[in-house]
Chains A and B, each alone.
Chain A
Amino acid sequence: MAIIEVQNLSKVYGAGDTAVSALDGVNLSIDAGKFVAVMGPSGCGKSTLLHLIGGLDHPTAGKVRIEGQDIAAMKDEQLTELRRRKMGFIFQFFNLIPVLSAAENAALPLLLDGVKPASANAKALEWLEKNKLADRAAHRPDELSGGQQQRVAISRAMVSDPVIILADEPTGNLDTHSSDEIASALRSLVTDWGRTVLMVTHDPRIAAYADRIIFLKDGKIVDDTLMTGEASDNARRLKEKVESL
């Protein structure tokens, strides 16, 4: 079932002669429990698409439905509520609070939401553990590597049990090894915990973890590839190779 539906979505920045069309009539349907990557050259509209789906920005035209509800028609409070209950955000820069520990950072959304500290902390520790950071819970961000900080950010995104996780260049600031860790962690949110992940990236290596890649160019979808398509000869050979080992 489609958890995210985008219809004829457009976004124009500015007006008149200086108007720039960032997104131009995009149609898209994303099934629950899938890992979807959005790729394309810079300025193709991929971040705009993510922001519109996340309700961080208002479309010029078109609809975004989250679990069937049109978010463009929502009042601000409704939208905030939906974002808080249904969505988790992960950004390129981890945006952790320097003076708080990993556990406190991860628990923050729940504390701001009025959840009792004890249960907020328990939930934070649960997700830190799932992200293999249980032994770093008391560390402050500056005592953690970039990859570890991003895993704290993933834990923070997950404490309120969102169904959709939106990631904007989550590995843009990381080395290859840490990028692989983050991609695995996002993959695990889908495979092990049944969430839906929509990720914008320019890194082929990271996009390869997804189930589907949507290619944008000049604000339009130019291709949509399911990663489990018909195997090419080379891929088949590699598969047989691995199975024979």
Chain B
Amino acid sequence: MSVRHTLLGLIAQQPRYGYELRAAFTALAGGRENWDVTPAQIYTTLNRMLTAGLIREDSSPVDTPSEKRFYALTPAGREMLEDWFNAQVNSAPQQDEFHLKLMLARSLEWVNLPRMIQAQRSSLYQELHRITTQRQLLDPARELAHILLMDKAIMHLEADLRWLDMVEARMEDVQKQPAPEPELRRRGRPSKN
């Protein structure tokens, strides 16, 4: 993932040491529960980037204990970081567990489909309520970075709920169509003609 680039970016801001990098990463990513990087991950990444010449060891600032190893960006590291800033971020893949559930359950008459949709809806609403409540406690004057992250979560839940409404409205039509099945292919080697 982009842990490597984020660490490079943090080092680009100012020379930093390992423990500090982990704390800075966590703060940036919205808390450890949101995106947890282990110390081992940080140190392995730092060593690789050191070997690859993306960062170099920097002299410690005067007022810090000398055992802390500070890292600074190299021109190669800067170039890699620029490439990352210029590259697009892919949106989340279209893997949806609830869609799988629906498509399987539609042909199993012992599953209560409307109930399943409603249960999913309730739980999404509970989640949306919690995030909305938490978001209101944040102070726009100081915590805008975190508010933006929560807004993204809110918008995703909103989209999930609207999608669920659509699914419910169109389930009857979906049932009239054949379920997605693989095309049957002949086994063995293709024939030689």
Binding site for B on A (CB under 8 A): 41, 184, 187, 204-205, 207-210, 213, 215, 222-223, 225, 227-229, 231-232, 234-235, 237-242, 244-245
Contacts and interface: CB of A to CB of B under 8 A. Distances in A.
Interface of B: 27, 30-34, 114, 118, 121-123, 125-132, 134, 136-138, 143, 146, 150, 153-154, 157-158, 161-162, 165, 169
B165 A41 contact: yes
A208 B132 contact: yes
B122 A241 contact: no
Nearest to B34: A241
A215 B118 contact: yes
A42 to B, nearest CB: 11
B131 A222 contact: no
Contacts of A209: 129, 132
A223 B121 CA distance: 10
Nearest to B160: A204
A184 to B, nearest CB: 7
A182 to B, nearest CB: 13
Given A223-B122, A240-B33, A241-B30, A204 B134 contact: no
Q: Which 8 A-B pairs have the closest CB atoms?
A: A241-B31, A227-B129, A208-B128, A225-B122, A204-B161, A241-B33, A244-B31, A240-B33
Contacts of A228: 126, 129
A242 B136 CA distance: 12
Contacts of A213: 122, 125
B32 A204 contact: no
Contacts, number: 88
A223 B134 contact: no
A185 to B, nearest CB: 12
Nearest to B130: A235
B153 A238 contact: yes
A244 to B, nearest CB: 4
Contacts of A223: 118, 121-122
A204 B31 contact: no
B125 A240 contact: no
A200 to B, nearest CB: 16
Nearest to B154: A205
Given A215-B118, A239-B134, A225 B31 contact: no
18 contacts: A187-B136, A205-B154, A208-B125, A208-B157, A222-B114, A223-B118, A225-B125, A238-B130, A238-B153, A239-B134, A241-B33, A241-B34, A242-B31, A242-B138, A242-B146, A242-B150, A244-B31, A245-B143
A109 B94 CA distance: 53
Contacts of B130: 227, 231, 235, 238-239
Contacts of A222: 114, 118
A237 B34 contact: yes
B33 A234 contact: no
A167 to B, nearest CB: 17
Nearest to B122: A225
Could you say which of B136, B138, B143 has the most chain A C-beta atoms within 10 Å of its C-beta?
Answer: B136
Given A238-B153, A240-B33, A245-B146, A204 B126 contact: no
